[in-house]
Amino acid sequence: MVLSEICKAVNRIIDTISSIYVTKVEILEKILAAILSRGHILFEDYPGLGKTVLAKILAKALGCDFKRIQFTPDLLPSDIVGTKIWVPAKGKFRLVRGPIFTNVLLADEINRAPPKTQAALLEAMEERQVTIEGRTFKLDEPFIVLATQNPIEVEGTYPLPEALLDRFTMRLCLGYPSTVEEEVEILRRRISWRTDDPSVHVSPVLSKSEVVWIQDIVESKIYVDDAVLRYIGMLVQSIRRDPRVLAGPSPRAAMMLMKASRALALIEGRDYVVPDDVQFLAVDVLAHHIYLRPEHVADTRCEDVVKNHLARVPVPKMPRAW
Ligand SMILES: Nc1ncnc2c1ncn2[C@@H]1O[C@H](COP(=O)(O)OP(=O)(O)OP(=O)(O)O)[C@@H](O)[C@H]1O
Ligand SMILES: [Mg+2]
């Protein structure tokens, strides 16, 4: 597949999802930019906005295996990664792989499980491997975590630890439908699909190996000029120096922004990144990597901090005619 064909295939995924899930194309472009840059996504939104359905549609359109874990206070790390069980008839232990052995893992209501259980995801998300009782297992590629958390419920929830939050490329709000027309469209589609789970109607657009192959193309064939790298560097430095900020985006966060910008360039049919790609993704990629000073937590949103600095940091003039 040449670049234009990849771009067409990615756009077919966007069309497939849009034909079922009512949303703005920009949201789907962001989601695919995270996925094609080997990233993970945290959906933070209210109940009933279609997070689970969207994750299922995505998994199917990408030709991937899909598993879901409902996070609850009594969930154990072994319920995620797996464990060894004793089989008396055979007189030996048998390995039972947990649901993490999949391609697309929906970690539903991730902040309902205690930190020890949440931590079971750390190794998998960063190193794409898990350790079960001292033995390490490589996970299948692609490996994508789509996690959800509900912003209103505070009681009985455990805020995600910084290390886990830092492993998500993006924290994304799907948002409520913005017009009456969109509401009506969702209802019309419900009538024609005759099911609450329209993902059953999705056929794969790509295969697993094609997804991995496109991820490799993003990594190896999409050019990022030094001027764009400096732009990302200046942006994160500028945020870190903000007096409202206690801890700013990590170098890992800056890398995620670069990687997602490369994937977005490919989605847009380019083999080079432009500053617009960085700007389009910066808020959703950087905001959850920012920790405010206690006196600013009540009246400042991290999203606004990123926007302030996007408006302040000079946008590079590209050195050649792109
Ligand atoms: N934008 C949308 N387009 C099409 N269908 C939608 C949309 N939003 C919600 N739905 C429909 O609403 C129903 C609920 O969606 P879903 O179960 O995915 O919500 P959720 O965000 O996962 O909720 P919860 O947080 O309670 O788990 C599904 O039948 C889904 O198809
Ligand atoms: Mg759900």
Match 């009506």 to its residue by tokens: 184
What is the spatial distance between Cα 204 and Cα 166, in angstroms, rounded to a whole number?
31
Q: Would you write out the chain's pLDDT as a tens digit for each of its 322 residues?
A: 678 888 899 999 999 999 999 999 999 999 999 999 999 999 998 889 998 899 899 999 999 999 999 999 999 999 999 999 999 998 999 999 999 999 999 999 999 998 889 988 999 999 999 999 888 999 999 999 999 988 766 677 888 888 999 999 999 999 999 999 999 999 999 999 888 888 888 999 999 999 999 999 999 999 999 999 999 999 999 999 999 999 999 999 999 999 999 999 999 999 999 999 999 999 999 999 999 999 999 999 999 999 999 999 999 987 654 5
Which phi-psi region, left, alpha or beta, contains residue 202 (left: φ > 0; alpha: ψ -120 to 50)?
Answer: beta
- Where b means 16+ CB within 10 Å and e means fewer, 122-135 reads ebbbeeeebebeee
Q: Which two tokens stand for residue 281?
A: 């993704």
Q: Which two tokens stand for residue 203?
A: 């056929």
Contact 145, 105 (CB under 8 A): yes
Tokens standing for 58?
């995505």
Distance between CA atoms of 121 and 167, rounded to whole angstroms? 10
> Please, are residues 285 and 170 in contact by the beta-carbon 8 Å criterion?
yes
| Ligand 1 within 6 A of CB of 48 | yes
Mutate to test the pocket of ligand 1, among 22, 53, 181 (most ligand atoms within 8 A of CB): 53
- Verify whether ligand 1 is closer than 6 Å to residue 149 (CB atom): no
Find tokens 């996970």 and name the residue. Answer: 139
Residues with CB under 5 A from ligand 2 (ion): 52
Q: How far is the CA of 88 from the centre of ligand 1 (A)?
A: 44
Q: What domains can you pick out in the chain, each with its CATH number?
A: 1-196+204-219 (3.40.50.300), 222-314 (1.10.8.80)
Q: Extract the tokens encoding 235.
A: 């942006």
